[in-house]
Structure 1
Amino acid sequence: MCEVYNGKILDGRDKPIISALEYIREYLMRRIVKVLKVIEKSEGLLTPFAALKLETIKKDTAFYHVQWNGGDIFSVSGMPCRHAVAAIWNMATNGRRVGSLESWCNPIYTMARWKQVYAFKVNPINGRSLWVKSQVPTTLTPPNHHKQVGRPKKARKRSALEVEEMTHSGRLSKKHTKGKCGKCGHVGHNTRTCKGDGTV
């Protein structure tokens, strides 16, 4: 969640505090409206992402064989894996009441919980000229500003965990990432292995 938050406020993080808060407020307004439009078009018990993930699990389940011992039904946390889905289907085949497969998912994946999360609305506010004047007698003056040498940094500071993952060369690991060729612009190779036609 912190990574997503840092990514979304990148354009507003270097603004003054009031302007940065206003940037975040406007983003939340747009985000909530965008999600609500998706919710209106969605059907079923689970959210679209959860439903798509469950369909993938169902396809993988077809290759599993279950040996049932006739015991009790056990609930699962999160989303049932393909092994759990195979067991649920097997219990249904043997006459056990298991309900719909979607009902075995954690409530956090349901449409009801998704609607609950985005039920709060962020309202617009009046301009700064219409704000109520503070009755506090103390006047807060801005601190003395000294312009630093060079271009100001916009990227966030890396966490201790990220620093720990740094390689000996001083760069973050590029494992599971695909590089982009600086010559032709295609993904999957670099300038050293580029053949000029966009192929690897």
Structure 2
Amino acid sequence: MAYIYIAIAQGLFYVLSIHLFENYLHSFKHPNITQATIKPNNSKQLSESEKLDEFNARRQDPHSIKKRVYGATISTIIITIVSFIFLKISHNAVSFYSLFELMGLTFTNEPLSSIKVLLMSSSVYAASLYYELLLGYFPIIHQFQYFRLSIKEWSGFRNYFVGPITEELVFRASIVPIFVLANYKSIEIQFLAPLIFGIAFL
């Protein structure tokens, strides 16, 4: 049970770090953004739609995204290092390479397996790609053009690079090995890892 608490603590540390960097790291604030801009307006009661609009506007603000990216990156580095040290200390018999392999930080010896996983994951988006084809877009070219434009913005950098990489390192590379070395069954790990991800982002 202690391993579950450790895994939850890692996930919460990741999420809380993002919020702390966004809300309390004043040194990264843009000089043109005032407190009224980044804090909710409490002078009147906002409707649910207004609250949602305000939340989305704040979430897409480049300076807010920049601070969240810093928080996600720094917390991920800390969590990954601490997890590796914890796993090595608690399972001293496991070699360094085995730990890296267990955390998914080595290249696989079975590239065909990686290709199969990639194809299986890509098939999830087959319907949306077909829909774009019906609209007259050639899916791959259209998506590439959108991707090329998006990565020039902080929001695109967050969505395509920082978010996926840091979440994989925290919620898969750092958390899953803890359960594996604690002799949890595969079905239990498949249930617990996404559950912890959900709990962390509540």
Q: Between Structure 1 and Structure 2, which shows a larger proportion of helix residues? A: 2
Q: Which has the larger radius of gyration?
A: 1
* Range into which the TM-score falls when normalised by the shorter chain: under 0.3
